[in-house]
Amino acid sequence: MTRNVLFICGSLNQTTMMHQIAQRLEGCNAYFTPFFADGPLALLGKVGLLNFTILGGRHRTSTLHYLEAYHLPVDYAGRGRRYDLIVTCTDLITQKIIRNTPTVLVQEGIMEPEDWVFPLVKHLKLPRYLANTAATGLSDQYEVFCVASEGYRDDFIRKGVKPHKLVVTGIPNFDNVSAYLENDFPFRGYVLVATSSARETFKPDDRPYFLKQVKQIANGRPIIVKLHPNEDQKRAVFEINRILPEALILSEGNIYPMIANCDILITQYSTVTFVGLLLEKEVYSYLNVEELRRLLPIQNGGKSAQRIAAICQDLLNKPRFDRQKARQAFRPKPQLSYFRDTG
């Protein structure tokens, strides 16, 4: 009997990860859905109040364009059929369908640092999305959590994730970064700035101060600024033109070749910091760069999607069972700190 698998997408990064895993699953009907929620969050998303998240805005638009471009079958919110397995990149929101179906969770990228909200979310059982990606994995609403590295596995265990559910597979998009060195991006030898959508998610961001630090680090070298797809781009362009009038501002395009060709990478809270470190660039970030070195995704020549697909296949090959039995049955084998110079 052919099994149905639902891949829950989100940002373009998450969507491309889901597609890569689906391509390596055999004997299954793979369906895709933009990210969705149940109940009040679904209503807020429909009226556009959550456009700064993966429930709407540019993230949802980019995902829909991608699914259409690759002619991938879409089943919105998985309403069209019964599913044997769910694959998703976040459990900050767990939809009703996940609570009733065996699920594989895949790490999407860098986890946000734990702030004062994290212990409240963890111990008071507040909504996980309040702590952003720092609370990833805390739902326990999955059979397997595929993670980027042994460093991250240790980190998730410290946070309270059950060790037997964690498998180090590497993660698609970040498991073969040397491939980005061969590209046709026309510029080289510049300072690349990757902004974040911190303000859109209600985090403090002194953008003028950040840009002044960029100017100091660049020290006359050419600057390219790649805007985060979910930030207020009109405001961002105004601020950049005021402090870095010579900078080239890009709102579209694949950032990975841009990182491959730069000399210096400056980020705020972005997963692409991993790419800069793995390509041995000089990196500055709000994130703790030395800590990130411990967490770097394993490089396996692009085999992460295949490894995750094999885990999915293993779950699918087991007899159909209810959620509780699934949890018991499956045991996978085993401040720019501020601008810290790591070059």
What single string gives the DSSP state of each residue in 263-278? SEEEESS-TTHHHHHH
Range with the poorest average pLDDT among 44-58, 142-156, 303-317: 44-58
Q: Identify whether 335 is part of a domain.
A: no
Tell me whether strands 191-194 and 264-267 are parallel, antiparallel or unpaired: parallel
Do 252 and 305 sit in the same domain of this protein?
Answer: no
pLDDT, averaged across the chain: 90
Lowest mean pLDDT among 2-6, 44-48, 141-145: 44-48
* Least confidently predicted of 12-21, 74-83, 229-238: 229-238
pLDDT, tens only, 223-233:
999 998 878 88
Question: Which residues are paired to 224 by β-bridges?
Answer: 192, 248
Which residue, chain included where needed, has tokens 């990606």?
Answer: 133
Query: Is the CB of residue 76 less than 8 Å from the CB of residue 50?
Result: no
Q: Kindly state whether residue 340 falls inside one of the protein's structural domains.
A: no
> Which amino acid belongs to residue 16?
T
The 10 Å CB-count burial string (b at 16+, else e) for 166-192 is bbbbbbbbbbbbeebeeeebeeeebbb
What are the start-end ranges of the H helices in the chain?
12-23, 39-46, 57-69, 96-99, 117-124, 150-159, 207-218, 233-243, 255-261, 273-278, 289-295, 304-317, 323-329
Asked if pLDDT for residue 335 goes beyond 70, the answer is: no
**Contact at 8 Å (CB) between 4 and 12?**
no
Tally of domains within the chain: 2
Same domain? 216 vs 317: no
Range of the domain at 264: 177-295
Task: Indicate if 315 and 252 belong to the same structural domain.
Answer: no
Q: What is the pTM of this model?
A: 0.87
Alpha-carbon distance values, 291 to 43, 180, 191, 286, 304 (Å)? 39, 24, 23, 12, 23
Per the structure block, which two tokens stand in for 22?
């689906």
Let me know if residue 270 belongs to a domain. Answer: yes
CATH number of the structural domain spanning residue 237: 3.40.50.2000
Same domain, 201 and 309: no
Residues 72 and 210 in one domain: no
